[in-house]
Amino acid sequence: LQTRMQSLQPDPKAQYRSVYEALKKIVLTEGFWRPLRGINVTMLGAGPAHAMYFACYEKMKKSLSDTFQHGGNSHLANGIAGSVATLLHDAVMNPAEVVKQRMQMFNSPYKSVLACIRTVQRTEGFGAFYRSYTTQLTMNVPFQAIHFITYEFMQEQINPHREYNPRSHIVSGAAWPVPAAATTPLDVCKTLLNTQENMALSSVNISGHLSGMVNAFKTVYQLGGIAGYFRGVQARVIYQMPSTAIAWSVYEFFKYFLTKHRLEKRTSL
């Protein structure tokens, strides 16, 4: 839904006024499973991406916290660790995001993930999968830094003993709609770079492929003015809050489960 609503020059049949209207219209006209197109490539990339993401974050957070604030919780360390973890995460997820968004566009010509990868590789080259990488990092590095700082701060307030507490992890993980809304302009630019929306680019006489964050910003403004930067903001916030809450809950559960299992193994020896 977010990809569709961020389209700058959509087909008249793919114009939506709200998230609910978009979901209803897509399901009725394109089928029940249409909103889930591209989910397989997202799942394929999400496993290794999140494994590196959280492993890097935990390792760096502990090392930097000992350096900045020995024995304590340093928000600066959390922010830096989150930023570095984002570099690794996005390196894996960016190509998956390109494929997913191209498959989710209205009247997408791609029948499968493999067909999309092959066509993009053949017609645009390998660089097409990383055309939005700098924009993604410009958005995600400060976004994720704030995210990790906010999460750890919330945990200090509602779960000071840092015990496994699913409710506290859900609340802390979901408590950041403002950063999600504030970074929407960069997300709109990223979507344009990923999808290379033909109708939008031809309407401003851009031939070939759009590249670069600055060019994307200019093009979005040409097509939609200031309002264009906030297309899909509602869908972005609605998506980000539960997704981060679920990600942190699952991560904290496995962290608790593995730590508990390791301690039980040590005591039994």
Where are the domains positioned within the chain?
164-268
What average pLDDT does range 146-163 have in this prediction? Answer: 88
Q: What's the pLDDT band for 1 if we cut at 50, 70, 90? A: low
Q: Which of 29-33, 93-97, 173-177, 180-184 has the highest mean pLDDT?
A: 93-97
Rounded to an integer, what distance in angstroms lies between the CA atom of residue 17 and that of residue 235?
A: 11
Mean confidence (pLDDT) of the chain = 85
Each residue of 180-218: pLDDT tens digit?
888 889 999 998 999 888 777 887 777 778 888 899 999
Q: Which residues contact 100 (CB under 8 A, 6 or more apart)?
A: 3, 37, 38, 39, 41, 42
For residues 132 and 202, the model is more confident at 132
Q: Which residues contact 47 (CB under 8 A, 6 or more apart)?
A: none
pLDDT at residue 11 tops 60:
yes
Q: Judge contact between 49 and 144, C-beta under 8 A.
A: no
Q: Which of 130, 54, 148 is nearest to 93 (CA)?
A: 130
pLDDT for residue 266: 67
Q: What's the pLDDT band for 95 if we cut at 50, 70, 90? A: very high
- Could you tell me the end-to-end alpha-carbon distance of the chain, in angstroms, rounded to an integer? 53
Indicate the helix (H) or strand (E) that contains 233.
helix 233-268
Each residue of 47-84: pLDDT tens digit?
889 888 989 998 999 889 888 877 677 888 989 999 99
Rounded to an integer, what distance in angstroms lies between the CA atom of residue 135 and that of residue 130?
A: 10
pLDDT for residue 265: 67
The CB density around residue 188, as the number of other CB atoms within 10 Å, is: 29
Pick from 111-115, 137-141, 168-172, 206-210: least confident: 206-210
pLDDT at residue 269 tops 60:
no
Per-residue burial over 139-170, b if 16 or more Cβ lie within 10 Å, else e, is bbbbbbbbbbbbbbebbeeebeeeeebeebbb
